[in-house]
Every structure is written in structure tokens, then in C-alpha cells.
Chain A
């Protein structure tokens, strides 16, 4: 299972683009990379998942370089409501054992 490393915290201002990078140096060939968002006293919520290159949905983009040893979650034009903890998870397809890292606490300032 790939261990993930993220910055502990980040600050941003409303309207800015936020990029959160996750390192997963020992990612395996069949690992997917998934990002979750968690608000206080709530369960984490799925944001985006990818395997390689770029994935975009209505809330975020995920960039994965060719070597797949890192990934970057991009949140366009954040708002105060994006203040949350963001978790990166590199999951080994088939083992179903998902261990989360420490997460990145994003604070969006007015």
C-alpha cells in the first residue's frame, strides 16, 4: 500500500486557485489516487479519483504526472465553504484496505 504525504495545512483567499500536492512515492501499478474532503463532524466526501494524466469534474481537477509518484488536487476559485481537511488516498486495487494519511487542513480566508 502506498503511503501518502501531504502538507499539514494551507491558507488561501477567496477566489484563488488552490493546489494541494500529495506524494506517494511507492505507488503500485494498479493503485488509484482518490481525494476526499471532510468538514468537522462529518464523514469524508469523495471529490475526485484518477489513475494517470488529468481528470476533471465539476468541483476539481486532479493532475497525475507520468511517474505517478505524486498528484495535485486543484480547486478553482475557492470560497469560504471550501475550508475543510483534504485527504489523498492511494489505494491498491484489489486489497480493499484503505489507510488515510494525515490530510491537509485548508483554510480559506475572506
Chain B
């Protein structure tokens, strides 16, 4: 069966520090991968999605970036965090028209 791993679960980082969140999927090949962010009490904002290794589509221009170094690995990064980067970050995967499957998320607090 397919599983998605996302870590860390919680993270507290000072303003201006770098960020690296990792997501890996097991049990499937060539998945579509996604990063979403959810501000407190708000909906899901699509940040990046990828349909293949090295293929990244950005939906929100900001100081975040994403990379897909391997087929089932998706990384969200920032060189310098802003207070506004605080939120709940969710990784998800899908194949063809199948539904999205989400990880457990990372709660990021930028102080």
C-alpha cells in the first residue's frame, strides 16, 4: 500500500533562518506531488506541484521554493523565513485522476 511521510511534525524557526521540509511517498511510482499551506483557520493554498523529477510548477510567487530530486521525494525550502511563512504545510500525492492523499503536515511557527 502507498504511504506518505512528512517531517518534521512541528518546527519553530527564527525570522531569517532557512527552511527545509521533506516529503517522501512509498508504494507508487511517478506520483504527482504537491505542497499546500494552510494559515490558521483558513483554506488550503496550493504552493507547488510536480508531475515528474525536476518538473516544478509554482502557484504562489514568494520566498519559498520546491525541488524534486527523486521520483518520490519532494522538498520545500526557503533561504530566509518571514513571519508570514508561519502555517501548516501539507504534502500530498496523486496518480492520474485518483484523489489526493495527504501527509500529516508540518506546523511551522516563525518567531
Which positions 61-111 of chain B face chain A at CB distance < 8 Å? Answer: 88, 90, 92, 94, 96-97, 99-105, 107
Contact partners of A96 in chain B: CB under 8 A: 32, 49, 51, 94
Contact partners of A91 in chain B: CB under 8 A: 97
Within 8 Å of chain A (Cβ to Cβ): is B43? yes
Contact partners of B92 in chain A: CB under 8 A: 43
One of A16-24, A44-52, A67-75 at the interface: A44-52
Contact partners of B88 in chain A: CB under 8 A: 41
Dominant SS at the A interface? loop
Known: A34-B100, A43-B102. 18 other contacts (CB 8 A): A41-B88, A41-B105, A42-B104, A42-B105, A43-B105, A44-B44, A44-B100, A87-B44, A89-B100, A93-B96, A96-B49, A97-B49, A97-B57, A98-B46, A98-B94, A100-B46, A101-B43, A103-B43
CB atoms of A98 and B100 under 8 A apart = yes
Max chain A Cβ within 10 angstroms of own Cβ: one of B49, B59, B102, B104: B102
Contact partners of B36 in chain A: CB under 8 A: 100
CB atoms of A46 and B105 under 8 A apart = no
Closest to A85 in B: B43
B24-49 CB mask vs A (1 if < 8 Å, else 0) is: 00000000101010000001101001
Inter-chain CA distance A103–B43, complex, in Å, is 7
Within 8 Å of chain B (Cβ to Cβ): is A99? yes
Inter-chain CA distance A63–B71, complex, in Å, is 36
**A residues bordering B, Cβ < 8 Å?**
32, 34, 36, 41-46, 49, 87, 89, 91, 93-94, 96-103
Inter-chain CA distance A52–B46, complex, in Å, is 26
Known contacts: A32-B97, A41-B88. The answer to whether A99 contacts B104 by CB under 8 A is no
CB atoms of A100 and B43 under 8 A apart = yes
Shortest CB–CB separation between residue A17 and chain B, in angstroms? 24
Q: 5 interchain pairs (CB within 8 A)?
A: A44-B102, A91-B97, A98-B46, A102-B43, A103-B43
